[in-house]
Structure 1
Amino acid sequence: MQEQFISYLKAKAQNNTSFVEEVASVLDIGYDAAYRRINLKTSISLEESVKLAKHYKISLNNLFEVGSQDTILTELSPKINNEKDLELWLKQSLINLSPLTKIKSATLIYAAKDIPIFHSLKDTFLTRFKMFVWLKDVDLDLTRSKVNFEDFINSIPDTLMQSAYALSDVYKNINITEIWSENTMSGSFQQVLYYYEAGLLSKEHALNICEDFEDVINHTEEQTILQSHIGSQNKAVYQLYKSDLHPLNNTIMVVTPYKKIFFSPYTVLNYFKVEHQDTCTHIYDFLQKQMANSKLLANTGERDRSVFFKRLHNKLSSLKDRIVIDEKMSFL
């Protein structure tokens, strides 16, 4: 148990000092005493465990997997009911992901039912539209009101946008494996059409969002060819798989040399964070099987890759056509 605890702490440790020195500082003990605890020569007391858990912001219950083998403990993401909650959610996500930029071999696997959220956290109409959709789903006051997209974008707090940009910047400095299908963007396309036809999104802004979709497709294709994030400060790897077999569900798996963490969505943005290692290994193995039955688009050849992205462009063109043609025209 102590060995597992120490391994987990190492994954959470800062890189600006040695792990031994950090433990010694937290426990207020000498370097040699900290070294003996880290190397399992001296037992860590309950009081010391609590101090370390508080310092590294971890749950002892989750770590030691209290309960039956058929029951696991999960951590809930911050609940989102309004703009302030969304900003808190973005900041908490940043806290969760930032340590991965310091672990060279860490990887994030994203089985994308929808466009991965990190692709739509830039200074674009798409980002603002996604926030509009999310908050329409969770904010009862906004849902009941007839606030349209044009009114919404004029009231978005700057701090909310800055939190989104910060999370996007972190994402491109993590090794990422994404699994897409030809329907990964379809849900977002349908959202644009829904709000346009509902009269809550103008034709001009609907077409602006379509241009942002175009940029997402082109950007993703370029990264797929390069097999790296564009603009990454640490040359983080980017890989894109095309899945034709299994439905995707926005599952996120974080893999480090020390442990795995699994994020399972249960509402629009909220998720369960699972650290139970047997469960995480089970999900990881399933994702590996999904990738084995999918195509790594960097290796499939230019034809397969071009066909995949062309189909995304074709679906987007169909959306544009429906927006440009005024379907509200009367034929009577």
Structure 2
Amino acid sequence: MTPATTQSQFFQQLKGLMPPHKALVDEVADLLGISNDSAYRRIRGEKPIDLGELQQLAAHFKVSLDSLLNLSSDALLFTGRPQVHPAITLESWLTNMLGQLQLMNSFGQRHLYYLLKDIPPFYHFQIPELAEFKMFFWMKSILHYDSLKGVRFRFGEPYYQDCHPICQRIVALYNQMPTTEIWNVESLNSTLRQIDFYREAGSFATPSDARLLYEKVEELIGAIEYQAEVGVKCVLRQPGSPALPYRLFVNELILGDNTLLVELDNNRLTYLNHSVLHFLGTRDERFNDFMFANLDNLMKKSTLISGVGEKERNQFFNALRRNIHQRTQAL
């Protein structure tokens, strides 16, 4: 393979990563500070790109050069800025989530696969009380806000109110993507245990706050059950327009790890969860093919309860409700 051919294939790879409404030549020209004509000549392989330009392009598009240089390597390229408090704030985390969803929705063909360990934040954000509690938990126990030391949780604080608009934008974007989720009956437990912990630690402003949160969790479970029954994406039982496909699988043996894989036109991205809140992403083709094969295998060994499987669906959601009722009865 000639260097010019290799270079052309590299740019074809970059083109596949571009949202449909953007032009590769404009992106390359802006990034390298050259004219569109010079960018075209590089894209066609008529003018070689130097190592500095190659480094700029690879870093910007977050791609590995192993395949371009025909290297056989076990190395994988993941992206994700290290998040260290106080550099990371809840606002920056929400903004990053919003940006990732905007990127996904910029592609024509898209499908999100989610291997759950916990209920996704996109669902908690649909109910203000749950959204506020999760914000408090993340800020106090994960991001370690100094301002929350010794502070009890209260509904309706101004800070939470300021975050609701971006949370609603996140919910709207999540519901613009066809989605497949793989659940386990344990997927509910993280949220319930967080409520349990703060109740037992006396961290609620009033004793009735825990009961209200348990009730809101049950309301959310009912909404997700309805979404599974109709088989389309919904926000609190209201299907989107257009109504996009939703599949829910239950795997009784495997508890997920909050891995996300998204198909965007002819490309795949994988996001791996770490440190509770954060994700590392990769476009590595080998890794993404492996992850998709793993998810496909899990789905084959799971029970589909969306659209079909009424008996199994009722059994699953009733088991979740029993878990909630055990806690409310103990109050």
TM range (shorter): 0.7 to 0.9
Bigger drift between 164-173 and 75-84 goes to: 75-84
TM-score w.r.t. length of structure 2: 0.82
1:59-208 to structure 2, matched below 5 A, reads: 59-61=62-64, 69-77=73-81, 79=83, 81=85, 85-142=89-146, 145-150=149-154, 153-156=156-159, 158-201=161-204, 202-208=206-212
How far off is 1:146 after superposition? 1.3
Counterpart among 243, 248, 256 of residue 264 in structure 2? 256
Structure 2: which 5+ runs fail to align?
1-5
**Following superposition of structure 1 onto structure 2, how do residues 14-25 of structure 1 map, counting pairs within 5 Å?**
14-15=20-21, 19=23, 22=26
Does structure 1 residue 269 correspond to structure 2 residue 277?
A: yes
* 1:188 aligned partner, one-letter code: T
Pairwise CA RMSD: 3.1
Aligned to 1:329: none
Number of matched pairs: 315
How far apart, CA to CA, are the structure 2 residues paired with 1:140 and 1:217? 29
TM-score (norm. length: structure 1): 0.82
User: What per-residue deviation string (whole Å, max 9, x for no partner) do you get for residues 59-87 of structure 1?
Assistant: 35478688862222221256263696221
Q: Contact between 2:116 and 2:255, CA under 8 Å: does it hold in 1?
A: no
Q: Which of 307, 319, 322 in structure 2 is aligned with 1:314?
A: 322
Matched, 1:10 2:16: yes
Q: Does residue 287 of structure 1 match 2:295?
A: yes
Number of the residue aligned with 1:28: 35
Instruction: Please say if residues 81 and 138 of structure 1, whose CA atoms lie closer than 8 Å, have aligned partners that are also in contact.
Output: no
Deviation at 1:165, TM superposition (A): 2.1
Q: CA deviation digits over 1:71-105, x for unaligned, max 9?
A: 22221256263696221111112212213223343
- State the distance in 1 between where 2:224 and 2:66 align: 36
Mapped contact 1:181–1:242 kept (Cα < 8 A): yes
Among 229, 232, 240, the alignment partner of 2:233 is: 229
Give the letter for the 2:197 counterpart: Y
CA 1:145 to 1:180, structure 2 compared with 1: closer, same or farther past 3 Å?
same
Per the alignment, do residues 76 and 69 of structure 1 end up closer, same or farther by CA in structure 2, a change over 3 Å counting? same
Amino acid at match of 2:97: S
Q: State the shift of 1:113 in Å.
A: 0.7
Alpha-carbon offset, residue 170 of structure 1: 0.8
Corresponding residue number in structure 1 for 2:252: 244
Task: Give the direction of change, closer, same or farther, for the CA distance of 1:217–1:63 in structure 2 (3 Å limit).
Answer: farther
Question: What SS does structure 2 have at the residue aligned with 1:136?
Answer: helix
Offset at residue 175 of structure 1 (A) = 1.4
- CA pair 74-51 structure 1, distance change in 2 beyond 3 A: closer
**Percent identity of paired positions between Structure 1 and Structure 2:** 22
Residue of structure 1 in register with 2:313 after alignment:
305
